[in-house]
Amino acid sequence: MSLKLKALTKSIWVYHLCAGGSCNNCDIEILDLLTPRYDVERFGIMLVGSIKHADAILVTGSLTRKAVECVKRVYEQAAKPCVVIAIGACACGQGMFANGPNTPDPVDSVLPVDIYIPGCPPKPEAMILGIVKLIGKLRGKK
C-alpha cells in the first residue's frame, strides 16, 4: 500500500461537493455528523474548504446538466489518489430526479465513485458505516 493510501485510512479530509440538483437534506445530515453527538472529527474526518487539501470528495445531489463541467474540473484539481463518496439517493442513482430533463446522467457517469451511501437522506449512522467500509476497502480488507 502506498504511503498516501495508508495516510488516507488514518485521517480523511473531505471536500463536500453538491452536484447541482437536490433538496439539501443530505447536506443537513452531513452537518449533523460534525455535531458533538456524532463527532466524526475524533476519527480524523474533517471537512475542508479547498479541494486541493482534500483526500475525498463527498458528492450530494443529482448531477445537473449545468454542473457537469464544474464537477469534472473540481475532480481534476483534487490531489490523487482521491476517493469519491456518493451520499444519498440523488447522488447514488438520481433519486426522484431520474429521467428529468436537467439531470440526464448519474454522478458515476462523470466521476469514479468508490462507495455509495444510499438513503433519502441517509442517517449519520449510515454515513459512518459507509466511511468505515471505505477505509476497510482502502486497506484491502473484505
Sign of the C-alpha dihedral computed for residues 105, 106, 108 and 110 taken in this order: positive
Q: Total structural domains in the chain? A: 1
Q: Which residue has the cell 468505515?
A: 132
pLDDT tens track for 90-134: 888 887 777 778 888 888 889 999 999 998 889 989 988 888 888
Show the domain range for 53: 3-139
Residues 6+ apart with CB under 8 A from 92: 86, 106, 107, 116, 117, 118
pLDDT tens track for 132-142: 888 888 777 65
Q: Assess contact for 115 and 85: CB atoms under 8 A.
A: yes
Q: What is the pTM of this model?
A: 0.86
User: What is the H or E stretch that residue 93 is in?
Assistant: helix 88-93
- Residue 116 has a pLDDT of 93
Residues 6+ apart with CB under 8 A from 47: 13, 14, 15, 16, 30, 34
pLDDT tens track for 41-97: 887 888 898 999 898 999 998 888 888 899 999 999 998 888 999 998 888 888 777
Q: Which amino acid is at 26?
A: C
Q: Read off the CATH number of the domain in which 9 is found.
A: 3.40.50.12280
